[in-house]
Structures are given as structure tokens and as C-alpha cells.
Structure 1
């Protein structure tokens, strides 16, 4: 990539060249970390002002802190999405890509970026028009009178950055391809887009469905696929004005509840990296380590504890598996069993609150996140106990002894005291929510700040580099999810306009009008989807389609949220996607096939739990009724 004076970004030793390379490597990282720290401080300040600093008269603090935090959050989400493209970390369905011939797969690696660049044009153009309108009308924010064009600029700037990163990756990929593969890729891209302009479409649903499946299963990142199929539909049928998409890209994530996601992700990553995790493991060991299969039981119990901190399945597997898989293998457990157990127990991370999938479902379905968190407690504990039972039986059969000789109350009390700061995290989160002290987003922000302070200043487990890396990883993980929500908002609007949910409901009801049968069919559908699609993507796509139907059948939307999340949690341990299986395999270097063979009994236990949750609503709802209706 030539630079002035014949220098290049790679070999330039001039100060200017070094500065450009620094921006290329670190710009998004630094902006994400600074942005995260700023809006974390702002939300914590908001809580402090309400309860601690109420005597200080700061006009409209709650209003302006939330306003500034929201706008920073939107900016950082799009900057993080750009960083995710740079790192190739976007969620995508690649089951089909893996089995295609190499030349076709490489051609799609050209076709998809070209289509993404084409689609980005509409977001950049629409975003610029939005900014121009805001400048002309002089609109400003309610609290601080910030010019609104500054907030709306996040969309065109963010997509421009994404385009830059997509082009960078495309250039790298082209270097390893032949001219024939490049030509095939360009041709495929043109063929995929041609029907939009060539065919006179009468049905918006047909275009939307066609392009949804084409883009998803040819390996385009799911978030971009949702935006691309929505724009393709609008070009072909004029279903929605094209400028609407840029506006939705902003308004779809300009939401205080969605801000809980990066806070929960950061809390889990920071505490999983530091010494808090070791203290939780020590406490779980004292609690159940003396049973046959003690280390296996310790693994499940620790996953349940960590689930009340992280809100993420893969994060739970990574944090627990790093320590427990080698320990179990060293003590004589079968390697495949150890990995399968951690992968299965890690799925509890999205069921026991806080849970990122519950946050996303709550936003998409417009349901109370607090009620969803409450509804997940008993099902999560039940699944944990079932996994413990399966582990105990298998361990006893194989003669895998406990890690301790006997139970010691003194040892348990000591370990619990040592883990007190870690155990306070779920108390802060859930106590703040259920006590009416904080919203879910505020409690998540307080938990993230708490974890940071404890890990850095009290336990001193994290140095500056570790903290920086943790915040970068948090920003990356969160941005992928938030960008997905932004693109799903327009997709959901098209679904609503074209009455897709009603069509799907009519199809299911034509098979049977029995609630039992319909729930069974939906469970089967969700289990299949969970095998090929990441959980958060499935939630944002399927909730607008399935929720109206189950509500029509008399299913509580909170219960359906639990059913959906448990189904998709099972997807964490079912191939070919099975992200928990891949994480466990990556940690242990155990072959994936060996882990899959050992995961079957845990899958069966989770199927039993799913059926109980689906057909015995009180398992999920009795605690909700007790907490919110007492």
C-alpha cells in the first residue's frame, strides 16, 4: 500500500509512518477502552448521585449522564464493529462453507465483502443525509443541547470504518487467490445481486426469504446479512425508503437497556481473568469436592457461581475450563468427559442471571429484563443439579474419586470468606434490580466497576496490560452483539410490515391447534436452529416471528424467553456450531470428535430440563410471581 515519498505502511520508519501504523493497529482498541471507561463512570455516577451524592445539587444529572453515556455507547458500538471486521470476529454461519470446494469457498470470500461494501453505501449515504438534516434544522439533545448530528454521525463514520477494514481484509485474501478464483468471486457477487434489479418482484416476503438464506448460508456475517437482505428487499420492492435503514441503525441501539450487555460482558471477563475465579473454585471444592467425581461436581458448581457474574456461555467455559480441564485430566478423568462437562456446564452461563441472551430477548420482545432474570434462576439451578447427577453417576461408574477425603465445615467457611468479594457480585446485580435500587443496566455498570476495582486494587490480579486486554475483548464481544441488534431492527420492521409472523403462525396452527404440540414443534425448530446459528443471532431473528404465535396460544412471553434461551443454550454443545465445544477443544487441545462422543449424556439431561421447563410453567414463573406480585 504505497505511501507518500514511496514509503509504505509496512516498512516506513518515519515518525509519520509509525503514527499511521499505530492508528491502523490501535485506533479502535483505544477508542473502545476510553469509551467504555467513560460511560461506565457516567452510569456509576448516576447511581451515586441518586443515593450518595443527593445532597449535591447537580442539575439533571441523571438525564445528562444517561444521554452522554447512550451517545458514547452508540459510537463505541460502531467503532467496535469495525474492529470486529479487522479481527474477523463477526458471527457467521459457516457450516456450508466448510464443505464447499475450495475454489467456491474462496470465491465467496470475495463475493461477500463486495456485497457488504455495496450495502454499506446505503448506510453511509443515508447517514450523511441524516446528519445534513440535523445540521439544517439545528436539532440538539434534550439535556445538554448537544448537536444531534454529532450523535448521528456514528452511523456513516462507523460504516466507513467498516468498509476500510473490509477492504483491508479483502486485499489480504486476494494475495492468496488465483485470477480465476478472483474472477469467479466477482461473478458470484454480481449474480447474487442481479435478481434485485432484473426480476420484477411482487412479494417482499419472497425477496426477504431468498436473500436471507442466500446471505446467511454463503457465510456473510449474520449482522450484515440481516441488513443486506432488508436493503435488497427494499431496492426490489420499495417496501421501505432506503434512508430508513441508516436512521434505524442509530435508533435501534440508542437504548439504555441494551447498554447492560457490555457491562455484563466486561464484568465476566475481568473477574474470570483475575483471582476471583480461583476463590470460587476453592469454595466449590470445599462444598462438593469430597463426593465421587468431586472435581466434576466442583466444575459444575463453579460454572453456576460464575454464571451469576458473566452472562455468557463461552466466557464461562473459557474461565472455568482453563483451570478445571487440566486438573480433571491430571486426576484421571477421561479428557473427552472433562471437556464435554465444562462445555455443558458453561451453557448455564446464559440461563442463571445475569444473562446477555435474556437482555437481548427482553429488548427485542419488549419484556421486563428483571422478570426474565428472575425466571432464569430456578431453571438454571435445575440444569446444574441434573448435570451434577449425570457427572456423579459417570464418575462413580469409572471410579473417579473426589478431590478431598471428607467434608470440612471449617474449610468451607474459610473458603467462603475468602470468596466473599466474588460472591458479592450477584448480590450487587440481583439485589440492586429486585430491591428496586437500580435498573439492570445500572446494576451491570456497578458490577463492572466493582470487578475492576477488586481485581486491580484489592486482589491486584490484573496489571495495566491485562486490564487493557480485558476491556478490548469486552468491547469486541459486545460490539458484535450490538451491531447484530442494529441490523436486526430493520429486518424486524420488514417482518412486521409483511405479516411474516402471522404467516408462520398460520402454518404451525394448520398442523395442530394444541399448545403442547405447537410448543414441541417450536422446541424442535429452535434446537435445529441452535445447531447452525449462534444464540444471540437466533434470538433477534426468531423472536419477532415466533413470539406473537405463542402469546396467541396463551404462553407467557417471559416463559417463552426462558424456553428460547434454554433451547439455544443446548445449541452451545451441539455441532456443527457448538461454540462451547470449540472453546473447550481450543483450551485442552482435545479433538472435537472425542468431546462430542462424551457430551451425549449431558445433552440428554438438558433435553429433560427443556421439556420440564416447557410444560411445567411454574418452574420458571413461580419465582416471578412471588417477587413481582407479592
Structure 2
């Protein structure tokens, strides 16, 4: 996947035409990478899910909750495996081929295999012997339908699944409401988010007498998205840098350049955390990776412990608007907005958020008379030189996209190749055989959890569109909200609340398809809407009582949550000011896009 887009960009520049089929093969390979990663995520328990089951009392309450979650996971994945198998058999009879005559259905095969493996793994992870037996009984109940569907190709099918209205004699609501409540309960008890969303999609299609193969068909439709491969490529780049010594080099460089300022160490923390989050795409990784370095340094320099805790907690989410941040790509894919425009539009708003937090750090430095180190040009230049390869990654992607040299996928491939070469060959922090495979497995696990979630979310979105839910929602909103400013204010409140309880990838795939058409109806520029959307989710990480960064900091630093609520509050207010400026001064976003809009 790294090689094909890189070759495509190079060959196109040299010859004027690219490698035949390179983009299409890269898109289809992303499906394989995504499903292989999803299987790994199921095995390791890394799918996105609420962790509420851990709050239950040890013993039978926790076992019962986990057994219920395992049963739901097993059932939904087994039905998805059947539906995917049905889709593959239907597509096998077509003549769709890729460059070189490769049948497209060859790539689809990974879907029924992947869902089947996830179903079995879900059964095996059930906490008790009795619950495991029950889960395997569920698989055994679905298996005859799969066998019958395979035999039906030769006219020997013996079992068909009636549609919902026929089976239920038209009483779909009586079945749908309890089934929906059970799915929601499984979500609250820790079932993976993708399982719950897929369950709702399957349920809605089934009750509407629509083939359940519509859900995997929408998942496969992901491969036609030209920007989807950027997700695994940039994830690899971020994980490789995080595995190496990038954090140490970035901290040293920031200390060298900002240490002389009042509050210089706090400024350094804000900028380094923002930069590190752009690589990883996750504020949690930044808190866990850099918190142990930055927090002791801040306290040793006489910054109050509460301020230091709040700064590290808040700064973890500051880089989500900068390239090569993964949430930006995901929003672009889901909402249909040009990712390169989103990256350019997010530069000034992202910098504004960092500067506001850094300015508070300067004020605290002056107030507490924190020591300032003398600026030494030699050390600053040496530290910058040591970190040059780490700082070069976002610069490479920005220049490649803004200049029109490469597409976003090609830029992501260049970034992944760049990170691998930098860490293995130049810095030698990552061993090619001992470390790199492990890093790639970790990266693919994240990619799998995101791609599978995005795929089933498209299935649910497809039903919502068929049922005209967005149209009805738009009609209701237009009847009750009468101006663009009222809409943006309501959006701020909605995203702040939901951003505090939903994981960012879940929030994007669930909310973006609904918010994007509403924004268009009220005349909000798509890039501006995307930046406002992501900035609000960034703020939601700090919103009590459920903000993700608050939980992560409490866990990482062994501090009580109420303490984190208080210490993060000033940063919540400061970042809220930034979000309001980004929301109600569109020129902060759109002005930069109009100046630097990349060539098409």
C-alpha cells in the first residue's frame, strides 16, 4: 500500500501518466488491511466500546454483562458473515474486473471470512463456559443458512430467510422496539460500537423487507472512496514515529526554543503535545506517551501541580486539526469534503487553539515566577537539527498536497515511507525485524477498528437516507431554527455534549452524515463546518463528567476525577473561547483556504 501510491506520484511526474490501476488496487487493499485489523482488534479487545462494564461489581453482575455482550457480538457478526457471503455470491456472477483482469469479488472474500472470524472470537471471549456454549449455539443456528445459500447457486438450496414483515405478520414495531432496546443495552454494557451500529442497520433493513446484504454492500462501497487509503497510511506513519524517539526529540527542541520565555516550558508542552497528536490522531496516546515526561518537568520548574495536570490533559487534543491528523481524513470521507481543503482550513484555527493555551501558560509562568533558562542558540539549533526528520513529516504532507504534487493518498504514502525510513535508517530507533512488525500490527488494529466502524455506519446511513430521515430532520430544524447563527450555536452545544460521551471516530461516523446536509441548508461553507465540527469534538474531550481526556489523565497520573474536573476547567473555558471564534468568524478558516487552495 505504501509502494503503489508512491510509485503513482513519481511515475505521473516523470511520464505524465500514472501506474495503471494503482489507485484502484490501493483502495481495494485497504479493505483487506481494514478487515485483517478488525480481526486483530476483536482478538485483542481493542474495538471502540464503552468501558462501563468495569464499573460493575466483580462476580456475577460483571460476568452476566460480558456474556450478554459476547452473545450480541457473536450473533451480529455471524449474520454479517452470512450477508457478506450472499453479497460475494451475487457479485461473483458479474464481470467486474480490475486492471489486469483480476475479478473484484476476490477482494470481497475477506468480508465473510473476517466477520466469521470475529463471530468465533466473540464466542471464545465469553467469560464462562456456559456463555461460550450459548454463543457457539448461535453460530450453529446461522450456519445452515450459509450452507443453503452456497447450495442455492446450483439450485439445491433448502433454507431461506423470510423478510421481517412476512415473518412477523406485519407486527414489526412489536419486535423492533424490544430488539432495539436490547442493542442499546448491549452498547451500555460494553459491546463494540461497530457491533451495535451494525445490529441497528441489520434490524432496520430486515424490518423494512430489504436484504440484509445491503449492510456489507455499503461497507464494500468504501473502496470507491479515493481518500480512504490515507487512513491506514497515516496511521502507520504516526505509530512508527511514536514508537521511535520522536517524543524525546520534540521535547528537547521545544525546550531549546521556548525555554527562555516566561512560561516557556508550558508553551513547549502545548506545542509538543499538539504536534505529537497530529502524528497519532489520538489525544489519549499523547497523554500516555508524553505525560510522564512533561508533567514532572512542569512541576520541577515550580508550576502548580493542578495547572500542570490541566495543561497536559488539555494539550493532548490540540493537534487534531493539523495534518496528518486521522480524524480530519475520516470527516472528509464521511461528509464528502475535500481533505486537502480541510487540512488547509484547519491550520489557523488549530494554531489559534494552541496559542490560546500557550498564552495561559505564559501568564502562569509570569505569575509564579518560574525559572527561565538562558537561550543558547547552539543548543536550540542542535536540538532542532536532531528533530528535523520528525518535524519534516507534517511539512512534507502540507507541501505535497498544497503544491498539487501529490493527492492526499499519495502524500500519506510518502509520509508513511518517510517515517519508516527516518526511524529505521536515520534515527535507528525502530528495528526493522524486531520492532516494525509489532508497530504495524498495532497500527492495523486501530485501522481495523476505524474501517469496520465506518463501513457499518455507512450501512446505517444508507437506511436513514432511504427512510428520508435527514430530509425530515432538515424540515424540523428549518421550522425551529431560523438563522445560520442559531444553527451554529445549537451545533456547538450538541457537539460539546456528544463529544464528551462519544469516542471521536464514533462521533464522526454517526453525526457527520446528519450535520453536513443541515450545514449546507443554512449556507455554512463545508470546510468551515468541518473545522467547527472537529474543534467542538476537541473541546468535548475536556467536558465533564465523561470527557475522554479527563479519564485518561486520571488513570495515567492516578488522580481522582473530581480533581481533574476542577484543574481542567480553566483550559475548557480558554478553548471554548477559541471554538466560538472559529465558529462565528468564518474567515479564520475560509480565508486561508481561498489563499492556499490546492490545484485540482
TM-score interval, normalised by the smaller of the two chains: 0.7 to 0.9
Q: Which range moves more in the overlay, 611-620 or 301-310?
A: 301-310
CA shift, 1:308, in A, is 4.6
Q: Distance in 1 between matches of 2:498 and 2:57?
A: 20
Q: CA, structure 1 residues 591+457, in 2 after alignment: closer, same or farther (shift >3 Å)? A: farther
2:161 equivalent in structure 1: none
- 2:399 corresponds to 1:425: no
Q: Report if aligned partners of 2:403, 2:598 keep a CA contact under 8 Å in 1.
A: no
1:16 equivalent in structure 2: none
Q: Within 5 Å, give how 1:354-365 maps onto structure 2.
A: 354-365=324-335
**Cα deviations by residue, 1:178-233 (Å, 9 ceiling, x for unpaired):** 99xx99xx9xxxxxxx9995982369997997677445334321111111001111
**Cα deviations by residue, 1:297-342 (Å, 9 ceiling, x for unpaired):** 1111212333454433233333432421232234444444333312
Q: Residue 111 of structure 2: which of 145, 148, 155 is its match?
A: 155
- 2:572 corresponds to 1:603: yes
Q: Which range moves more in the overlay, 307-316 or 274-283?
A: 307-316
Q: Distance in 2 between matches of 1:418 and 1:97?
A: 43
Q: CA, structure 1 residues 350+205, in 2 after alignment: closer, same or farther (shift >3 Å)? A: farther
1:348 equivalent in structure 2: 318
1:26 equivalent in structure 2: none
CA shift, 1:97, in A, is 7.5
- 2:99 corresponds to 1:143: yes
1:222 equivalent in structure 2: 193
2:256 equivalent in structure 1: 286
- 2:298 corresponds to 1:328: yes
Q: Report if aligned partners of 2:327, 2:505 keep a CA contact under 8 Å in 1.
A: yes
CA shift, 1:117, in A, is 2.2
Q: Within 5 Å, give how 1:163-202 maps onto structure 2.
A: 163-170=119-126, 173-174=127-128, 200-201=171-172
Q: CA, structure 1 residues 141+504, in 2 after alignment: closer, same or farther (shift >3 Å)? A: same
CA shift, 1:427, in A, is 1.8
Q: Residue 8 of structure 2: which of 46, 54, 57 is its match?
A: 46
Q: CA, structure 1 residues 512+76, in 2 after alignment: closer, same or farther (shift >3 Å)? A: closer
Say which SS state the counterpart of residue 298 (structure 1) adopts. helix
Q: Distance in 2 between matches of 1:355 and 1:305?
A: 10
**Cα deviations by residue, 1:26-52 (Å, 9 ceiling, x for unpaired):** xxxxxxxxxxxxx11222222232235
Say which SS state the counterpart of residue 347 (structure 1) adopts. coil
CA shift, 1:452, in A, is 0.8
1:337 equivalent in structure 2: 307
CA shift, 1:124, in A, is 1.6
Q: Distance in 2 between matches of 1:561 and 1:616?
A: 14
1:33 equivalent in structure 2: none
Say which SS state the counterpart of residue 257 (structure 1) adopts. coil
Q: Which range moves more in the overlay, 586-595 or 123-132?
A: 586-595
The TM-score, its normalising length taken from structure 1, stands at: 0.83
Say which SS state the counterpart of residue 554 (structure 1) adopts. coil
Q: Residue 462 of structure 1: which of 388, 411, 430 is its match?
A: 430
Q: Which range moves more in the overlay, 155-164 or 201-210?
A: 201-210
2:375 equivalent in structure 1: 407
Q: Which range moves more in the overlay, 223-232 or 410-419?
A: 410-419
Q: Residue 412 of structure 2: which of 427, 444, 453 is its match?
A: 444
Say which SS state the counterpart of residue 322 (structure 2) adopts. coil
Q: Residue 113 of structure 1: which of 63, 66, 70 is its match?
A: 70
Q: Report if aligned partners of 2:39, 2:117 keep a CA contact under 8 Å in 1.
A: yes
The TM-score, its normalising length taken from structure 2, stands at: 0.87
Tell me how large the CA RMSD over aligned residues is. 3.1
Q: CA, structure 1 residues 198+530, in 2 after alignment: closer, same or farther (shift >3 Å)? A: farther
Q: Distance in 1 between matches of 2:503 and 2:46?
A: 13
Q: Distance in 1 between matches of 2:175 and 2:363?
A: 54
CA shift, 1:143, in A, is 0.5
Unaligned runs of 5+ in 2: 139-163
Q: Report if aligned partners of 2:98, 2:104 keep a CA contact under 8 Å in 1.
A: no
Q: Distance in 1 between matches of 2:348 and 2:175?
A: 42
Q: Distance in 2 between matches of 1:204 and 1:42?
A: 49
Q: Report if aligned partners of 1:200, 1:236 keep a CA contact under 8 Å in 2.
A: no
Aligned length: 570
CA shift, 1:374, in A, is 0.7
Q: Distance in 2 between matches of 1:257 and 1:341?
A: 34
Q: CA, structure 1 residues 176+509, in 2 after alignment: closer, same or farther (shift >3 Å)? A: same
1:132 equivalent in structure 2: 89
Q: Which range moves more in the overlay, 312-321 or 283-292?
A: 312-321
Q: Distance in 2 between matches of 1:51 and 1:40?
A: 17
Say which SS state the counterpart of residue 421 (structure 2) adopts. helix
Q: CA, structure 1 residues 102+501, in 2 after alignment: closer, same or farther (shift >3 Å)? A: farther
Q: Residue 257 of structure 1: which of 227, 250, 253 is its match?
A: 227
**Cα deviations by residue, 1:248-291 (Å, 9 ceiling, x for unpaired):** 22223453311111222221221122233322222211221123
2:514 equivalent in structure 1: 545
Q: CA, structure 1 residues 629+305, in 2 after alignment: closer, same or farther (shift >3 Å)? A: closer
Q: CA, structure 1 residues 448+612, in 2 after alignment: closer, same or farther (shift >3 Å)? A: same
Q: Report if aligned partners of 2:554, 2:564 keep a CA contact under 8 Å in 1.
A: yes
